[in-house]
Amino acid sequence: MTEPKFETLAIHAGAQPDPATGARATPIYQTTSFVFDDVDHAASLFGLQQFGNIYTRIMNPTQAVLEERVAALEGGTAALAVASGHAAQLLVFQALMQPGDEFVASRKLYGGSINQFGHAFKSFDWRVKWADPFDPASFEAQITEKTKAIFIESIANPGGVVLDIAAIAEVARRHKLPLIVDNTMATPYLCKPLDHGADIVVHSLTKFMGGHGNSMGGVIVDGGKFDWSADDRYPMLSQPRPEYNGIVLHETFGNFGFAIACRVLGLRDLGPAISPFNAFMILTGIETLPLRMQRHCDNARQVAEHLRGHEKVSWVSYAGLPEDPGHAMMQKYCPKGAGAVFTFGLKGGFDAGVTFVEALELFSHLANIGDTRSLVIHPASTTHRQLSDEQKTAAGAGPDVVRLSIGIEDASDIIADLDQALAKV
């Protein structure tokens, strides 16, 4: 058989009929722990000399199918599923960073990531330095001898900006640093960062991958190409691990050594495990990922085209529009579509934003993206309310800004709801 296409992998990768029952859908292995064959079997599992299940905090058969599927879709060597996108980022940096270390991140990121990097990570003495996503040279300017990684989003949340992954990857390569790409907004259906020079990919599986707004999850994908043993900057991979009788993880596990480190050093000890039920739900969602993402993109383009001509809308930021400054980058990295999330500005400012959001009927007003349903939020009156107007504008959440996550309903119904709400502004 030839190499399966993306649509086939989304359904079949990692899965086989259950050997015990013949069940075709991957079962939910709702158990905390697994029986050992004998003492030697247990010892080999705990010593990393044999792969197998010990405890669901570390791995579980339902989780394993999800990991293999996402790794196949992204083109990685291995993956680790965890409790959330934030958990995925925590484990990635825990494997890379020591106290006092730095990393460089794009200023255009999901607000939760900005908070995690700028505040929570301070507790570990991990320090972020911010760079201009439109200027790869600005990443290079922030690199010091303490820098351990570069972090970007393929499509930035909330503005929908498509970054020049290859150019930033070249900066990372020159300095022998791993490039980490959050691919949540694009999914591997629209963009595969590993094909453009990324070394590690993370997702909030809660969003488009699961796609139905019902399950939390995150994932780390190991690209398998970074040389973790080139020097001693990454001791968790390049130095003997006392927890495992002196095993050097990169030497022992090669091109999936990073995924192993995140599992047996990070997930084992920090514990943000995904539940078997959530893994099952996200697996089911991924089966329809290609169909959903194309519908999301097609609908979003129609909605953006409609809004840009509306008398009460001052601007629309969506890379799928030919006149958008990011359109060329979108065609390079996401030729199938620019995703489902974008922002636009209301001429009436803050009060107009509040009125508009409260008048919508089909849209759900909540702080999430990537659902089958269309979602909306007015950041200035919700997530960024505590900031001054100047701070809101700097964060891309000015008083006039509305963020939409376009669902897979009929596009005419989505547009009709927007129009009736705009009529009340």
**For the domain that residue 54 is a member of, what is the CATH number?**
3.40.640.10
In-domain check, residue 1: no
| Range in 12-26, 144-158, 223-237, 372-386 with the lowest mean pLDDT | 372-386
Using DSSP bridges, classify how beta strands 364-365 and 78-82 pair: parallel, antiparallel or unpaired: unpaired
Residues 112 and 224 in one domain: yes
User: Which strand (E) or helix (H) includes residue 401?
Assistant: strand 401-405
% pLDDT > 70, the chain:
98
Determine the average pLDDT of the residues in 349-360.
Answer: 94
Residue 381's pLDDT is 84
Residues 200 and 310 in one domain: no
Q: Is the dihedral of CA 416, 417, 423, 425 positive or negative?
A: negative
pLDDT tens digits, one per residue of 57-99: 999 999 999 999 999 999 999 999 999 999 999 999 999 999 9
DSSP 295-317: HHHHHHHHHHHHHTT-TTEEEEE
Residues 54 and 123 in one domain: yes
Determine the average pLDDT of the residues in 298-313.
Answer: 97
Residues 334 and 393 in one domain: yes
In angstroms, the CA 377 to CA 370 distance is 13
Residues 23 and 100 in one domain: yes
Which of 250, 285, 320 is where one domain is finished? 285
Residue 402's pLDDT is 95
DSSP label of 163: P
Determine the average pLDDT of the residues in 118-126.
Answer: 96
Residues 411 and 331 in one domain: yes
Residues 280 and 312 in one domain: no
Residues 46 and 195 in one domain: yes
Mean pLDDT of the chain, nearest integer: 95
B/e letters for 40-51, b = 16+ CB within 10 Å, e = fewer, are eeeeebeebeee
Residues 212 and 69 in one domain: yes
188 prior amide bond cis, ω within 30 = no
Using DSSP bridges, classify how beta strands 218-222 and 313-317 pair: parallel, antiparallel or unpaired: unpaired
Give the chain's domain count: 2
Residue 383 has pLDDT above 80, yes or no: no
| C-alpha closest to that of 162 among 210, 114, 196 | 196
Residues 276 and 306 in one domain: no
pLDDT band per the 50, 70, 90 thresholds, residue 391: low
Residues 278 and 294 in one domain: no
Three-state secondary structure readout of 219-232? EEEECCCCCCCCCC
Residue 395's pLDDT is 65
Which of 267, 285, 303 is where one domain is finished? 285
For residue 114, the one-letter residue type is: I
Residues 294 and 266 in one domain: no
pLDDT tens digits, one per residue of 230-281: 999 999 999 999 999 999 999 999 999 999 999 999 999 999 999 999 999 9
Residue 319 lies in domain: 290-422
pLDDT band per the 50, 70, 90 thresholds, residue 157: confident
CA 275 vs CA 218, 300, 321: distances in Å: 11, 32, 39
Task: Read off the CATH number of the domain in which 325 is found.
Answer: 3.90.1150.10
Residue 159's pLDDT is 79
In angstroms, the CA 64 to CA 70 distance is 10
